[in-house]
Structure 1
Amino acid sequence: MTNAQARPLAGKVALVAGGTRGGGRGIAVELGAAGAIVYVTGRSSAAGRSEMDRAETVDETAERVTHAGGVGIPVRTDHSRPEEVRALVDRIASEQDGRLDILVNCVWGGDPLTDWEHPLWEQDLDTGLRLLRQAVETHVITSRYALPLMVARRGGLVVEVTDGNTARYRGSFFYDLAKSAVIRLAVAQAAELKPYGVAAVAITPGFLRSEAVLDHFGVTEDTWRDGAAKDPNFAHSESPAYLGRAVAALAADPDIMRKTGRALATWGLYKEYGFTDADGTQPDFAAYWAAALEAEHGPLGEPL
């Protein structure tokens, strides 16, 4: 394998907004493993935790990016604050000679705001609207300030991270609205960016083993298979590295414009690009759903 094949993103500059933990962390690290310079942003840093009150920080993610072979640069940023995002993008432009090749919008933080028990008319409205601001408006703000760098260079890739790539209802009104809206953000950006050679896609993982999910099952990434005793579906989960490798493969694809505007999934992309999860497996949650869950829960549906 040549160096270019091992590090196809060497010299590329990426911004992973919402890279503190979970899918964002997995994406940042795998972009680093492919050789990229990765700005990792989020609200939890060595200076203090966000309202999520979890131990993961952007500093820790950036260290993992560098350890993987890239250059990790942590910048504590609240993406709901336009002035902070503007300052972040100005810093990237200054430090990287105006270059930004990959923008990943993975800001979420909506888990404590999601009501899985009640229909819309019984939910707290302020909480629901706050979820939408956190999960959708942050993406809009970040793209608003970051896209001019990509447009000026007439190239790059925008990745909107979502949950599910079909019209299937996701089980909670505001959660469903947020995740569906993120797909439309990719579609709309793709339409406006196409004349400038910039691609935009949405991507979903399957059953993602984030840090919070591992905690819920009382396992670690090393012992995660023990969680299947609590939920057999967990045996078909995937690590954040799988999502990260999917995004890295997309970013390295010279024909990425063929996919612009599409809602993609790890379970489709591994077949095309051949990447594996951290343990060498190739989870396919759509195939598992069709075989084991469709009879009870109905089909996942066709990609949007």
Structure 2
Amino acid sequence: MTHSQQHHPQGTPAQRQGPLGGKVALVAGATRGAGRGIAVELGAAGATVYVTGRTTRARRSEYDRAETIEETADLVTAAGGRGIAVPTDHLEQDQVRALVERVDAEQGRLDVLVNDIWGGEQLFAWDAPVWEHDLDKGLRLLRLAVETHAVTSHFALPLLLRHPGGLVVEMTDGTAEYNGANYRNSFFYDLAKSSVLRMAFSLGHELGPRGATALALTPGWMRSEIMLDAFGVTEDTWRDALGAEPHFAISETPRYVGRAVAALAADPDARRYNGTSLSSGGLAQVYGFTDLDGSRPDAWRYVVEVQDTGKPADVTSYR
């Protein structure tokens, strides 16, 4: 059996039974956080999911964290899909080209591209003006958060456009409406997250007439592995952090935004969102999915109406 024959495009019979059975997805930046949550939910819907990142069981990125892309792939498979881990540095054009060539050789199609590469947590300084910010770190943040998305789209979109109905999801932090009216933490962070929003808008213009859809998507206050560690809690004990930060009550798991992507990918009329900016909480109201605990947090409405107005934390009617 050849290498390509090991990954049949139709997947297993169990996969074909899901709403995304027979579909192929690439989640770029799926080691942890939203990328992992999205990959798992696409798998739960029956898709074959290629997951990329720089941290493997053999080598860690500068994050120096334990989560690996192999673990993400295993979670995808356990959820009912087929997870395939491909170590990739999305700043390296040859690696991205090889990744897409592999997907093409093994599957012959790409139905969903999720650009979730970020890598900037350790690179931006909160509220530091640009003249005081470490310049090398700021510029690397922009490369990791913006250039990687452009490189990936450049190589992956011809394959995605081979069949009509493809979906591109640009992952960011904040909606276009919110980020357009608010300063986000630092010059470099603000620029990175706003640039991704504009990328989705631009891709919408380029992909829409060619039969595909591009959109921007943000989770709410997400309980990623890094966020939980920052508060010194786990997913089981996350409410212990509410004493230090009461507004954390609106938070959501990475699987919530994953369910948003799975719903979009299964929606034959997703093109109505082409070029727009969406949120996990907003899409939950449209598609009816919930977070793992059965709640339906609407974080960005909460941030605007409660947190940013200085009101006491109260998630009543917001989740």
For the aligned pair, the TM-score class normalised by the smaller chain equals over 0.9
Out of 109, 113, 125, the residue aligned to residue 135 of structure 2 is: 125
Question: What does 1:26-45 align with in structure 2 at a 5 Å threshold?
Answer: 26-45=37-56
State the 1:227 CA deviation: 1.4
Match of 2:306?
292
Once the two structures are superposed, residues 58-87 of structure 1 have per-residue CA deviations (whole angstroms, 9 ceiling, x without a partner) of 000000000000000000000010000000
Match of 1:96?
107
Once the two structures are superposed, residues 110-150 of structure 1 have per-residue CA deviations (whole angstroms, 9 ceiling, x without a partner) of 00001114101111222111110010000000000000011
State the 1:258 CA deviation: 0.6
Match of 1:178?
192
Structure 2 residues not aligned, in runs of 5+: 1-13, 312-319
Letter in 1 for 2:74: E
Q: TM-score, normalised by structure 2?
A: 0.89
Match of 1:155?
165
Match of 1:135?
145
Match of 2:122?
112
Once the two structures are superposed, residues 226-283 of structure 1 have per-residue CA deviations (whole angstroms, 9 ceiling, x without a partner) of 1112211111100000010001001111001110000100121000000000111111
Match of 2:7?
none
Q: TM-score, normalised by structure 1?
A: 0.94
Out of 77, 86, 91, the residue aligned to residue 66 of structure 1 is: 77
**Is the CA contact (8 Å cut-off) linking 1:10 and 1:35 kept in structure 2?**
yes
State the 1:190 CA deviation: 0.9
| Range that drifts further, 278-287 or 180-189 | 278-287
Q: Tell me how far apart the structure 1 counterparts of residues 43 and 237 of structure 2 sit (CA, whole Å).
A: 25
Q: Tell me how far apart the structure 1 counterparts of residues 170 and 263 of structure 2 sit (CA, whole Å).
A: 15
Q: Tell me how far apart the structure 1 counterparts of residues 228 and 135 of structure 2 sit (CA, whole Å).
A: 30
Matched, 1:228 2:245: no
Structure 1 residues not aligned, in runs of 5+: 298-304
Q: Tell me how far apart the structure 1 counterparts of residues 161 and 306 of structure 2 sit (CA, whole Å).
A: 44
Match of 1:246?
260
Q: Secondary structure at the match of 1:31?
A: helix
Q: Tell me how far apart the structure 2 counterparts of residues 203 and 118 of structure 1 sit (CA, whole Å).
A: 26
Q: Tell me how far apart the structure 1 counterparts of residues 265 and 24 of structure 2 sit (CA, whole Å).
A: 11
Match of 1:301?
none
Once the two structures are superposed, residues 24-52 of structure 1 have per-residue CA deviations (whole angstroms, 9 ceiling, x without a partner) of 00000000000000000000011210111
Q: Tell me how far apart the structure 2 counterparts of residues 89 and 290 of structure 1 sit (CA, whole Å).
A: 40
**Is the CA contact (8 Å cut-off) linking 2:201 and 2:214 kept in structure 1?**
yes
State the 1:296 CA deviation: 3.2
Out of 202, 213, 232, the residue aligned to residue 218 of structure 1 is: 232
Q: Tell me how far apart the structure 2 counterparts of residues 195 and 117 of structure 1 sit (CA, whole Å).
A: 41
State the 1:211 CA deviation: 0.0
Letter in 1 for 2:239: R
**Is the CA contact (8 Å cut-off) linking 1:155 and 1:196 kept in structure 2?**
no
Letter in 2 for 1:273: Y
Out of 279, 284, 289, the residue aligned to residue 270 of structure 1 is: 284
| Range that drifts further, 221-230 or 133-142 | 221-230
Matched, 1:85 2:96: yes
Match of 2:6?
none
**What is the percent sequence identity of the aligned residues?**
61
| Range that drifts further, 227-236 or 41-50 | 227-236
Letter in 2 for 1:28: A
Match of 2:35?
24
State the 1:155 CA deviation: 2.6
Letter in 1 for 2:307: L
| Range that drifts further, 40-49 or 221-230 | 221-230
Q: Secondary structure at the match of 1:296?
A: coil
State the 1:223 CA deviation: 1.4
Q: Secondary structure at the match of 2:297?
A: coil
Match of 1:300?
none
Q: Please identify runs of 4+ aligned residues in structure 1 that moved more than 6 A.
A: 3-6
Q: Tell me how far apart the structure 2 counterparts of residues 21 and 274 of structure 1 sit (CA, whole Å).
A: 25
